[in-house]
Structure 1
Amino acid sequence: MGKCLFFDADGTILDIVKGTPEDTKLALQQLRKNGHKTFICTGRSNAFVPEYLMKEIGFDGLIANLGAYIEYNGTRVFEREMPTDLAWKTVEIIKANGFIPVLEGNDYMYYNLDEYTSDIDWFADLITQELGDKLLPIRGNEHNLHFNKISAKRTPGCNPEKLCQELSLWYDYIIHSGSFVGRTIEFVMKGCSKGLAISVMSNVLGYEKRDVIAFGDSNNDLPMFQAAGFKVAMGNGSEDLKSQADYVTGTLEDGGIRQALEYLNLI
């Protein structure tokens, strides 16, 4: 039956500027040829997952938006969206606490170009370019927002403690540090997580926890580790994640994916 493997995207199999190294692509393709199931398990929205990951590399499924969206063999099997009235209330709370909202849905992402700029995140323009017509402004869509995850971006004078407290009734949150998303607090609808999505998919497919392997690099991958029997942290990973890993591999650029798969005798 083989193993069931779940790979985070950014910092694990994907560089936001350079994409996926050719050697990593080949290693992931060989993994499936050897009879193992592979999934992307990302905090990115489905709208922002590069098409080549699913089509060129080939994965059996996709977990996106921190577990609020699940796809298997090209079919959506789970999707949870914030109700429209609460969606706009959420935006108002984020802005009132000094944050820039980036709203992440399965078909679109929403943010205002004059607010979310490269001054907030150096890679903001890259996201805008990659999204193309999958980007919509918040302004003008106040009561037609369809999302299930938020990246709240810090600005000077923002109040993270108050923001988390006010949104904690409806959302779980992850406070990032020490990575390229270190200025971000991620909010996902309560009850959704990468770990729960992994547990659901692996159970449905008949895999026991000991046959589940998770790869990640940031704090939002900690729930993945809780659901996996073997945990691999990338060399560029957060210290919290590395401390819980069974194996710390090299960075993406240094061939860390192939290194770990060879260590596990999977390729």
Structure 2
Amino acid sequence: MSRKAVFFDADGTVCDMKKGVPDSALEAIRALVNNGHEAWLCTGRSRAFVPGYLEQIPFTGMISACGSTIEKDGKRLFNKEMTPEIAKLSVEVLRKYGLVPVMEGAYYMYYDKDEYTDDVNWYASLITETLGERWRPIRGNEDHMQINKISAKMMPGCDAEKALSILREYYDIIRHEGSSSFVGNTIELVPKGFNKAVGIATVIRLFDIPWEDTIVFGDSNNDLAMFEYAATKVAMGNASPKIKELADYVTSDMFHYGIRDGLRYLKLI
């Protein structure tokens, strides 16, 4: 079998905000790498929000912030940032129309703790704990935020459409399905022209990986681009309907051996 490059989403695919990475997923990806294949993280999280429980997985490299940041063997290869002026404008527009801005960068994430609370998202304090020194307030940093993307949290009564009508000039928009899901009240704003597929295409071009050897695992709508692009697509059992429609194979969820069983189905471990 030829050497495969397998790209894994993070949340809902190989990790959980509270429980971290299941042992079965960690062991399966280790076996994948030991069998001579490549394992890449391909996450919507910004690089600042890749914590220790993901760092322990022996990834060949990481694509983060929906394709905006790429690294291999710990070396930063690419990092697309919005200008500080656009970042500041984005905060002003989102707040004006009733959304809570969470500004995501390769070095820091920026949000105000009195605005982004557990009442807005139950995992807000977990994010703060995970980030540690990589958290920064927006207040006081308005003019010099270094960000790759934004997670805008929709609040009751917000006018998301009005905010997006202004910000579409600068960002591509990713909407998530299901108000009860991990990211159900989130709209992701990614630099125009960037997504997970762009990140994967860049990686395979840089490292001479044949497209037909690309495989993706994912679950949410920010995985749509890579599911439309990759040669082989594996959806997690908890995946959105759109992801399952595009999948070549639907495995179980990560806590029921989904990564292991998907890699076994593909005969990679």
The TM-score with structure 1 as length reference comes to 0.98
Cα displacement (A) at 1:228: 0.7
Tell me what 1:77 maps to: 77
Show the counterpart of 1:246.
248
**Residue pair 1:234, 1:249 contacting (<8 A) in 2 also:** yes
For these two proteins, the number of residue pairs brought into alignment is 266
What displacement does 1:204 show? 2.1
1:149–1:189 contact (8 Å) kept in structure 2: yes
Q: Which amino acid aligns with 1:155?
A: M
Aligned to 2:217: 215
> Stretches of 4+ moved more than 3 A in 1?
none
User: Residue 18 of structure 1 aligns with which residue?
Assistant: 19
Name the structure 2 match of 1:117.
117
Deviation at 1:102, TM superposition (A): 0.2
**Which consecutive unaligned segments of at least 5 residues does structure 1 have?**
none
* One-letter amino acid of the structure 2 residue matched with residue 29 of structure 1: R
TM-score (norm: length of structure 2): 0.97
Q: Deviations over 1:52-86 (max 9, x none)?
A: 423x2211100000111000111111101111111
Amino-acid identity (%): 50
The Cα shift of 1:90 comes to: 1.0
Equivalent residue, structure 2, for 1:3: 4
Distance 2:91 2:120 in 1: 17
Aligned residue type for 2:94: I
Question: 1:162: how far off?
Answer: 1.1
Tell me if the contact between 1:209 and 1:227 (Cα under 8 Å) persists in the aligned partners: no
Moved more, 160-169 or 201-210: 201-210
CA distance in 2, matches of 1:229, 1:77: 24
Backbone CA RMSD of aligned residues: 0.9
Q: CA deviation at 1:51?
A: 2.7
Structure 2: 5+ residue stretches without partners = none
CA deviation string 1:209-238 (max 9, x = no partner): 211000000000001112210001100010
Aligned residues of 1:222 and 1:241 also touching (Cα < 8 A): yes
Do structure 1's residue 45 and structure 2's residue 49 form an aligned pair? no
The aligned counterpart of 2:233 is 231
Secondary structure of the residue aligned to 1:67 is coil
Mapped to 1, the partners of 2:57 and 2:166 lie a distance apart of: 41
Residue type matched to 2:189 in 1? F
Q: Which amino acid aligns with 1:163?
A: A
Give the partner amino acid of 2:3.
Answer: G
Query: What are the residue-to-residue correspondences of 1:27-38 with 2, within 5 Å?
Result: 27-38=28-39
